[in-house]
Amino acid sequence: MSRRFLTYNPKLIERAKELRKNMTAAERKLWAYLRTLEPRWLRQRPIDQYVVDFYCAERKLVIEVDGHSHFTEDGQAYDAERTAVLEGLGLKILRFTNSEVLEEFEGVCEQVSKLVATSSWSQG
């Protein structure tokens, strides 16, 4: 079975470390949950030219937690481009807002668990 590794810009390593140290309250809350799941999740993972919030390589799944900057016109355009690039790499993108994670946590966890359990993406 061939395994395809996702490349990334090495200049993003320091940015990813910085983001790990400065996670939002919503990201910290979701990370505490994701750490309990199998398969393994990574946080603030460089992929291509981006740093994604959470990544599960085995399921080819990215989870993004969106704050207020994502709801501006520029933020939405950036997210659309980013999503297209990541989906072009064969990844599935799941987005939640900060308030969804903080205020509807049980439902967010249920969606994630269901998607992880039923995913059938190839290891390609």
DSSP 3-state of 41: coil
Kindly state whether residue 105 falls inside one of the protein's structural domains. Answer: yes
Mean pLDDT rounded to a whole number for the chain: 90
Give the mean pLDDT of 96-104.
Answer: 98
- Cα–Cα distance, 60 to 123 (Å, whole number): 8
Res. 120: pLDDT tops 70: no
Kindly state whether residue 15 falls inside one of the protein's structural domains. Answer: no
Number of domains in the chain: 1
DSSP 118: H
- Cα–Cα distance, 9 to 100 (Å, whole number): 31
The structure's pTM equals 0.86
Kindly state whether residue 104 falls inside one of the protein's structural domains. Answer: yes
Give the mean pLDDT of 59-82.
Answer: 88
pLDDT above 70 coverage of the chain, percent: 89
Domain that holds residue 84: 64-117
Kindly state whether residue 76 falls inside one of the protein's structural domains. Answer: yes
Contact 115, 94 (CB under 8 A): yes
